[in-house]
Amino acid sequence: MTYQLDRRTRRDEDRRHITPEEFFRQEFPGLAAKHGHLAASGMRALGTPPLAVEVGGSTWTILPAGTTVDVQPGAAEGAVIVTLTPSQFSDWVQNQMTFNGFSVARDLHFRNGLLTDVSTWDSLWIALLEGWPVTADTLTFLDRHGAPLDLATAFTPDADPADIAHFLREAGYLHLKGWLDPDDMARIVADMDRALPDYQEGDRKSWWATVKDGTRHCVRMQEFVERSPATEKILSGETWARLCSIVGGQDKLEVKRAQGRIIEALFKPVGVVSGPSDVPFHRDCHLGRHAYTCSSMTIGIALTPTRKENGCLQVIAGSHRVAMPVEIAKARPYLPVVPLPTEAGDLTIHLSCTLHESLPPVFAERRVMYTGLRLAPQAGGAGPMDAPLGELRERVNDILRNEYEAGAKTKTTSA
């Protein structure tokens, strides 16, 4: 059976304020009956403690109960305790925000546990809310004819479109080899160099990082397409239109015009010590709103060669089908980790639910561009409610910069 790309089960128009009393008394029993076995099996397999949620003056603990999960008032012994405001709780139970989202915003408060416990509960929670399994006991990788799938497959432009679309849905990613002209990639690299003086730290259209010698470097440029005719030509060309049609398959995608913030150009310098440059394993939907927007796609355009020895994108195959916790993915992944080394002109695609990371370059800077494709809007679906997470993503650069500067100031004062 072909995996379905559209995983949207919730609509923004249905969002409302939900209290702990209302949720645990009225909604939790139905969720436990439908998906509780997935959360319980995940807790057993990963050795996860119960979760106590503290909101105002009330506390509720979610804990295993045979083959499912149950909830009881108060904080059970051995539970990791997360403290939420009423507004945070309402967002959390509706998948508007996750614990990871609160953490990125530096607004996560917990005790009696480790970050790994909280990360695991993000996965257990999506299992309970949406029926996304946490363990991989029955996961297989098969091609569309039922034969074992070669996870290292790289598809050329003459590959069968049906094989390409199936691989994306089965494995959660693609490596497309030789789809774009390397000469165009060289032109885009030159466009990046010419555009760089137009970007300044704090301009809200670029991200910056600190390297080992203490200097700040631009690592991401937004609003780049207007500064790069070669990029605009690619995004408006026949090859790109064919690509969007192939990966969409039976799912209708929203293809936007090549303007504004349609694409971002990234520098990957050597020796980054602080800043949003190379990010360890994460999901694009891990801040929240998986059930409102997934699966979208992120497309990487390799401008320079990438190798595992000098940094490249890595993905965890099947992690769009199994809710492996992010912190466990970083330390002991239980699904195949697949590096995607590329030549200039190659493309990578990963689904928003697929765990992926960018390895840091070791001996040479590399460059890449990223753009995205989303599922076509549905009635009452994703809309203005996307804005808070979009704003949070844009604030990440400022958050990391402020923390780095505070740390540097503390070291100087101590010295």
The predicted-structure confidence for 116-150, as pLDDT tens digits, reads as follows 999 999 999 999 999 999 999 889 999 999 999 99
Higher-confidence position of 380 and 348: 348
Gap between the Cα atoms of 290 and 98, Å rounded: 10
| Residue-by-residue DSSP string for 64-107 | EETTEEEEEES--TT-EEEEE-HHHHHHHHTTSS-HHHHHHTT-
Q: Residue 382 has what pLDDT?
A: 47
Domain identity same for 118 and 188? no
Expressed as residue numbers, the domain containing 33 is 15-130
Q: Residue 415 has what pLDDT?
A: 41
Domain identity same for 113 and 211? no
385 pLDDT band, cuts 50/70/90, is very low
Domain identity same for 96 and 200? no
Whether residue 229 has pLDDT greater than 80: yes
Q: Residue 333 has what pLDDT?
A: 96
Domain identity same for 266 and 346? yes
Higher-confidence position of 28 and 409: 28
Q: Does 2 reside within a domain?
A: no
Give percent above pLDDT 90 in the chain.
82
Q: Residue 403 has what pLDDT?
A: 54
CATH number at residue 89: 3.30.1050.10
278 pLDDT band, cuts 50/70/90, is confident
CATH number at residue 367: 2.60.120.620
Q: Residue 2 has what pLDDT?
A: 65
Domain identity same for 296 and 393? yes
User: How many separate domains does the chain show?
Assistant: 2
Gap between the Cα atoms of 218 and 208, Å rounded: 4
Phi, psi of 61 (to 5 degrees): -115, 130
Average confidence score pLDDT of the chain: 91
Phi, psi of 83 (to 5 degrees): -100, 125
Q: Does 136 reside within a domain?
A: no
Domain identity same for 237 and 339? yes
Domain identity same for 366 and 248? yes
Q: Residue 247 has what pLDDT?
A: 96
Q: Residue 263 has what pLDDT?
A: 97
Domain identity same for 123 and 210? no
Across 19-28, 36-45, 204-213, 390-399, least confident range = 390-399
**Per residue in 381-412, is it b (16+ CB within 10 Å) or e — as a string?**
bbeebeebbeebeeebbeebbeebeeeeeeee
CB-count exposure of residue 183 (10 Å: 0-12, 13-18, 19+): exposed
Domain identity same for 165 and 126? no
384 pLDDT band, cuts 50/70/90, is very low
Which residue type sits at 135? Answer: T
Which residue type sits at 120? Answer: T
Q: The whole model's pTM is what?
A: 0.92
pLDDT in tens, 240-271: 999 999 999 888 899 888 999 999 999 999 99
pLDDT in tens, 147-178: 999 999 999 999 999 999 999 999 999 999 99
Treating both helix axes as pointing N-terminal to C-terminal, what angle do 161-171 and 238-248 enclose, rounded to 10 degrees? 60
Q: Residue 328 has what pLDDT?
A: 95
Residue whose entry in the numeric block shows the structure tokens 């505070």: 406
Domain identity same for 306 and 370? yes
Q: Residue 395 has what pLDDT?
A: 66
Domain identity same for 58 and 175? no
Q: Does 280 reside within a domain?
A: yes
pLDDT in tens, 197-208: 999 999 999 999
Gap between the Cα atoms of 264 and 199, Å rounded: 13
Domain identity same for 49 and 165? no
